[in-house]
Amino acid sequence: MREAKVELDDLIVPIFVDETISKPLEIRSMPGYYRIPVEGVVEEVEKCLDLGLNSFIFFGIPSYKDEIGSSAFDKNGVIQKAVRLVRKEFPDVVIVTDVCLCEYTTHGHCGIVKDGKIMNDETLPILGKIAVSHAEAGADIVAPSGMMDGMVKAIRSALDDEGFTDVAIMSYSAKYASSFYGPFREAADSGYKFGDRRSYQADIHNGDEALREVELDLKEGADIVMVKPALAYLDIVRRVKETFRVPTCAYNVSGEYSMVKASAIQGWLDEKDIVYEILTSIKRAGADLIITYHAKDFARWMKEGFDW
Ligand code: PBG
């Protein structure tokens, strides 16, 4: 009689690919989670496939950064290389790529910066170029995460112009200016050098604003919409799902992972039970897909026969 049950097919595994390392590097603020060198991605994907997980979202840590984030659309950039390797080895896995500038720019913001301001419209063509370069490498879905206005439309037309009409867009539509991203910024080396992200990410006090963002993205051609973070925003997940009835993804973000890990390490919470309850709650709220750093642990526990 269970209404919502998490299946492994619902889960998307985040993979941090680092061009500057030669062996996996544990992320200090995310115990048990690693950056993987480019040469290590095939093995990492293979491990996940053995556990029954077959969708991945890739984040890159590039070897160089500049003002406009050119390493993000470099044909030989970290993501492009990693995606080509995985695509060649595993034609059927689902490859999602994060399309953003913050990991690739010296200032760490998600758009081009001029005089201390984010230049929304000047960023759009660059996002189009990044998406096309990911599609060329073999991505099935591109996921713009920078919350620039018009990014979905710009990416859709760039992809279509280059013949990638069947590459889908999963937009980080309702992405809040949240403190739960702290550990990610260490994981992906994407912290900003000045200001914050509040001029482009959504205000935590607002719910209707998220619905308007989702509506715009759908009009611009988004195939899947995302709510992020997940746990403190389950009301938004539910409202988005009920209002639009479209494929909805929730991102169980780095800070949510680290809180669970920290208390599990202390012995204050039972990790398996807590993760099971969290993922089930996200699904029950209405998410069709969940990006989560717990994916591998969860899949392993399921394989070992865990049941509630
Ligand atoms: C890049 C991006 C971020 C996350 C995913 N893509 C960081 C940010 O906006 O600061 C956060 C994911 C997480 O915390 O797990 N724009």
Annotated binding residues for Mg(2+), written as ranges, equal 213
Considering the entire predicted model, what is its pTM? 0.96
The arithmetic mean of pLDDT across residues 193-214, rounded, is 91
Question: Which residue of the set 81, 129, 228, 261 is catalytic?
Answer: 228
Tell me: the pLDDT tens digits for 165-196?
Answer: 999 999 999 999 999 999 998 888 888 888 88
**Residue 182 Cα: closest atom of ligand 1:** 14
Nearest CA to ligand 1 atom 11: 181
pLDDT tens digits for range 292-308: 999 999 999 999 999 88
Q: Mean pLDDT lowest for which of 73-82, 128-137, 184-193, 197-206?
A: 184-193
228 tagged catalytic: yes
Q: What is the pLDDT of residue 187?
A: 86
The H or E element spanning position 273 is helix 271-285
Determine if ligand 1 sits within 6 Å of the CB of residue 254: yes
Our mutation pick for probing the ligand 1 site, out of 102, 105, 176, counting the most ligand atoms within 8 A of Cβ, is 102
Q: Give residue 184 CA to ligand 1 midpoint distance, Å.
A: 6
- Residue in 129, 175, 283, 296 annotated catalytic: 175
DSSP category for residue 176: B
- Quote the CA–CA distance of 72 and 103 in Å, as a whole number: 8
The pLDDT, as a whole number, for residue 208 is 97
Measure the CA–CA gap between 43 and 57, rounded to whole angstroms.
Answer: 15
Quickly count: other Cβ atoms within 10 Å of residue 94's Cβ.
16
Neighbours of 83 (CB within 10 A): 27
- The closest-lying atom of ligand 1 relative to the alpha carbon of residue 293 is 15
Closest ligand 1 atom to Cα of 254: 15
What pLDDT was estimated at residue 200?
Answer: 83
Confirm or reject: Cβ of 146 under 6 Å from ligand 1: yes
Question: What phi and psi, each to the nearest 5 degrees, are found at residue 36?
Answer: -115, 135
Quick check: 75 pLDDT over 90?
Answer: yes
Q: Tell me what pLDDT residue 194 has.
A: 82
In the chain, the amino acid numbered 86 is V
Q: Is 219 a catalytic residue?
A: no
**Residue range 8-303, CATH number:** 3.20.20.70
